Chains A and B, each alone.
Chain A
């Protein structure tokens, strides 16, 4: 099997599993795993937004939780304070996150590496503390719960997220659309420009690319993806809370992206899935399972800095090379 074939096979397997999960998972394990799988899909978008910046433009953001939080609060505040409907609240949350990404990005992408990582943390901390102290709007520590408005209502018939299957496929559709969008962007000329900037920003500037604008575009796009994740998570959990804006959430997303493998489209799903399944399985067995998470993070960084996705890619390429050379020397 060629490398691209293994990828295709893996991707189709993932798609097939995702589409049948609400019926397969209750048969195999337990029905609450359907909810966990939805959660994995949502969080994987946050990891994907880290991956977009780190893997494709070479910027390590430690503040993606800020846009996740804006997406969350956008939905919750939209429903509670402005009495918005389902779609308008959803779009309001995403626009809020994207707008914030545009503002924060225009300042942050002037800096690179260490400075960039630190300023993204600082921005997310500013709004974390603001959300904590601005109780009338954000609910502070307690968060902001809300009841979900129906998506479509025909008189008495209402389609809402309270229907488990509907909720699942709503999340799958939105997450799938985001990955499709990322795939299209990464494989477009813009995506090539991202990689060029990551590899060598001085040369990218010399061949006429506007490095600042390219970084800003990537930052806004990543903020948009994180915002979608936050908005989805608000709808999924029916509340918004400042604690999701803390830098530990951003850090977790970075960890998921790196364990899954930065610079690969589906790496974040693999990393997020693995870490969340580990958490669900281990946290009930061993109270201090976080020790294992910490060890796993350090081992990944030391031995497989390109993550599971990168290690898989290297392995597949090695096998492909061996098969190729066997064919060459064979009869």
Chain B
């Protein structure tokens, strides 16, 4: 089990995080941006799991549970916001929501 070096797992987490970061920057569709944030959160959780597995301690997995909780709460609130934006602006373009008039 410990044959997998820690660097490789952290590299995988870094690559996944970077892909999510690229996507959140290049996309203009707000649902795709939310999906990208999910990818980034998942990559952060993967880094915690890799570290916890390296030290054979449960703390990394506990941090992953908290990240999971946070991602679930974030995606529900974000989707509600997306529904409101689509209801009010009739578009999913995030640039269309650059004003805050309630």
A, B: real partners: no
Q: Give the interface of A toward B (CB within 8 A).
A: none
Residues of chain B whose beta carbon lies under 8 Å from any beta carbon of chain A: none
